[in-house]
Structure 1
Amino acid sequence: MVRKQPSATDMALIAAASERGAAATPTQLERWRAAGLLPGNEQHGAGQGRGSVSTAPPEAVDLVVWLGTHTRPGRRPGDLALEAFGAGLPIPEPTVRAAWIAASTDSHLDTPPEAEGAIDRSDRIAEIAQEVARKHSSKGALLPRRIRDIDRRITAAGISFSPPELGAFDRGTYDTEPYTSRDLLTTAVSTVLGGTSEGTEADLAAITRALVPTGAAVPVASMLEYRNDGPQLADINDGHGLALLPTGDVRHDVARVVTEAPLAHLRAAWHAVDDMHQWATALCDVVETELDELAAKRPSPDYPGLRQWFFGVMFGLNRILIRHTLLEPKPPTHARAGTAVMLLYLATGISRLRVMEPDSQFELLPELLPPFVYRLTELVAADPPASLRTPMPTYPET
């Protein structure tokens, strides 16, 4: 195929990129534009009937430099869009959002037909979950070795995971079956495909207990298992059609969160993944150091690492995030974006809860949440998406 000669504007772009140490070709510019990574040149009238001239958008040089430096054979355009966006480059917004949605919702999971009856759909979800678990459950441990080693050292130091003041808030589990990584994956897939109609509070409690040391007191799991008079998670809503957790395919809800989120929230979530990895690794380091001090009979008046470790056991979230980090310390781009969306979804869910249960003790969040989750939660609360804004009251016409 005969290609037309590159425009003077494109040649100027290539020259400007070369001056900054990045190589690019006219063919690459065409491919980047076709993939939505680089905006097209802007056309302007030359005046006095002399036709038109083209100029490159102001951000084009920075994008060409970055793309010329980071493009490699086989790299997916969506991954390039995510990484460039995370680096602060002005990738066109439609491309950015499409890449985020693909990273957070694209998977090997089949989608059970919505037209089927509830029972047929539930059976199909169970089949898919069992098949995924059969293929992948052997690839990951229920708990990484580092977490298990720290737990063993805590017990060996004579520290109980079920002290009386904590055990008083845990009525004990009624599920005595052993829990495996296959069970965890089956529940996760079922919940993604069916929401609260497939992932029950008992399932959440089982996961929470499975990820803590044997015999540990877990008040949050007990709250899920024995509801008393409190509402089920599936029943918490704002009275205007917004529920805390979706009752159907969670991927639809995730896509809505990504679509509604300001770009600043997406970028903050991207960087929160780095913060999570630094936090989890640092916490393990601190706890191990504190245990060394205890073993050396050098007691300290305060043990901030162990305190945070016990928060993870008591409430589950910190523990899950540490596990996620240790199992995949260097996630590829697609997985990193998926983790970022998970954190944003979590922050948005906490903001939903603030709207639906405004009298709860949210002043405790800075103490209970990891700092990066709390910062993201505050960011969402300060600039909430449309679905979280309280509807304006309506008045009858006079």
Structure 2
Amino acid sequence: MSARQLERWRADGLLQPNEVRSLGRGRGRTSAPSPGAHEMVVWLGRHAGPGKRPGDLALMAFGEGLPVPEAVVRKAFAEAGKLLSPENVLPGGSAEDVADAYAAKHDRSDPVPARIRRIDAALTALLEAAGVSVDEVTQAVLAQFDRQAPLVQAERVTRRDWVYASTIAAIDGAESLDVGYMGTLARSLAPLGVPAPVAEDLELCWPGSEQEAAQLLTPENGLAFLPAGSLNEIFLQLAEATSLPDLLQAWQIAAHLPVWAVDLCDRVEAALAARNSVETLNEWIQTMFGPTRGLLVTAARNAGQSPRKTAIDALILLFQREALRRVLAAVPDAEVQNLEQPWVFPTFMTDFMMTST
């Protein structure tokens, strides 16, 4: 490793500066590498190279628990959280204009990957071949949520619709989105013909008690418990203020989600082909009815994602955790045990999402 390379990494902020100590009065000073510097240099020697941006290297090394300078870590998260760069926002243009322009760059395909749709269809066929009525399963799920029939999808939702809504949230804030529209988007991720009770709660503008609705909805029919402000602003705040242990845990979960999604798809496909492993099939069924479905869909689409995308997903997880904390604060008698079910979060996420402080 050349001295020039080491200095370049120091200039990029990837290495902690040497620790300087005095040798005593009149004897000058000496310096020594900071703790963990050797491990960091070895790691950089293996991973740095042409085309590798310092910010990506900082995020990757941080995710592996290496001693990356805190200021560099926070800067990398903050840069990743800039969902819209200034040059993409037309002067004087409305949020709707910008969202239209962004959405037009995407096709009108199904937001759910074809692989997941195929697994859904194969599982339905397997159940019916075994004499299990999907309608009966559906009714059993609905009964747990005091429903009799799932809502009918009135319009086809595409990836373009998702991009439009995400761009509006990035500019005006997620709380600016109509809760009914958010429910329609969420239900578009569900298996075809299968109920999506949580999404339907949103579509029906929270059909629970009026008191809960008053606490959780804004006068404009947005979600009052979402942190206010554009996602760009919120992500910057999270990057600057979240503790390093929480940033690390969020990063590690975000990095694991695509691995989990691909592994689950692999195992379920194998179980369907062999027509066995009820436990694996049940694990898939648990993802079909609630928020875990959205995580599965997104993670399956993000396999092999960049460090920047992992950082964005980590910030989204922190944003969602803060929103959940606000819901629980507004509705103190909420049935928290329901939030610990695998249809809400994958088991490896539960402790992180349910941490109260």
Instruction: Give how far 1:135 is off.
Output: 1.2
The amino acid that maps onto 2:80 is A
2:139 to 144, 153, 164: 164
Write out the 4+ residue segments of structure 1 that deviate beyond 6 Å after TM superposition: none
* Equivalent of 1:282 in 248, 263, 266: 263
Inter-partner Cα distance in structure 2 for 1:244 and 1:76 = 36
Task: Quote the residue 2:103 is aligned against.
Answer: 133
Distance 1:74 1:171 in 2: 53
Q: Which runs of 5+ in 1 are unaligned?
A: 1-22, 114-119, 237-242, 385-398
Instruction: Write the letter of the residue equivalent to 2:106.
Output: H
Cα distance between partner residues in 1 of 2:267 and 2:50: 41
Q: Residues 44 and 54 of structure 1 are in contact (CA less than 8 Å); yes or no, is this contact kept in structure 2?
A: yes
Structure 1 Cα separation of the partners of residues 249 and 28 of structure 2: 44
The superposition leaves residues 224-263 of structure 1 with CA deviations (integer Å, 9 ceiling, x where unpaired) of: 1223324268648xxxxxx621343122222223333221
- Alignment match, 2:31: 54
Displacement of 1:63: 2.2
Any idea what SS the aligned residue of 2:227 has?
coil
Task: Output the aligned Cα RMSD.
Answer: 2.8
1:143 lines up with 2:77 in the alignment: no
Whether 2:264 is the aligned partner of 1:262: answer no
Which residue number in structure 1 is paired with residue 294 of structure 2? 320
Partner residue, 2:176: 198
Task: Indicate whether 1:349 and 2:329 are aligned.
Answer: no
Which secondary structure does the structure 2 equivalent of 1:359 belong to?
Answer: coil
Superimposed CA distance per residue, residues 96-134 of structure 1 (whole angstroms, 9 cap, x where no aligned partner): 111112122354474588xxxxxx8xx711111111111
CA 1:195–1:106 in structure 2 vs 1: closer, same or farther (change >3 Å)? Answer: closer
Structure 2 residues without counterparts, runs of 5 or longer: 219-223
1:329 correspondence with 2:306: no
What corresponds to 1:231 in structure 2? Answer: 213
- Within 5 A, what are the aligned runs for 1:1-398? 23=1, 25-108=2-85, 110=88, 124-137=94-107, 141-157=110-126, 158=128, 159-160=133-134, 163-167=138-142, 169=147, 172-173=150-151, 176-226=154-204, 227-228=206-207, 229=210, 230-231=212-213, 235=217, 244-292=225-273, 294=275, 303-315=278-290, 317-368=291-342, 369-378=345-354, 380-381=355-356, 384=357
The 8 Å contact of residues 174 and 230 in structure 2, kept in 1 or not, is answered as: no
Q: Give aligned-pair identity as a percent.
A: 31
User: What secondary structure does 2:269 align onto?
Assistant: helix
Cα deviations by residue, 1:65-93 (Å, 9 ceiling, x for unpaired)? 22223210221111111111111111111
Higher relative contact order (CA 8 A, sep 6+): 2
* Aligned-pair CA distance for 1:309: 3.2
Shift in Å at residue 367 of structure 1? 1.6
Change in CA separation of 1:106 and 1:42 when aligned onto 2, cut-off 3 Å? farther
Hey, what's the Cα distance between the residues in 1 that align with 2:10 and 2:202? 50
Once the two structures are overlaid, the 10-residue window that deviates more, 32-41 or 44-53, is 44-53
Work out whether residues 170 and 218 of structure 1, in 8 Å CA contact, stay in contact via their aligned partners in 2: no
Q: What is the alpha-carbon distance in structure 2 between the residues aligned to residue 54 and residue 274 of structure 1?
A: 36
In 1, Cα distance between equivalents of 2:21 and 2:200? 67
2:227·2:323 contact (CA, 8 Å) conserved in 1?
no
| Aligned AA (2:74) | R
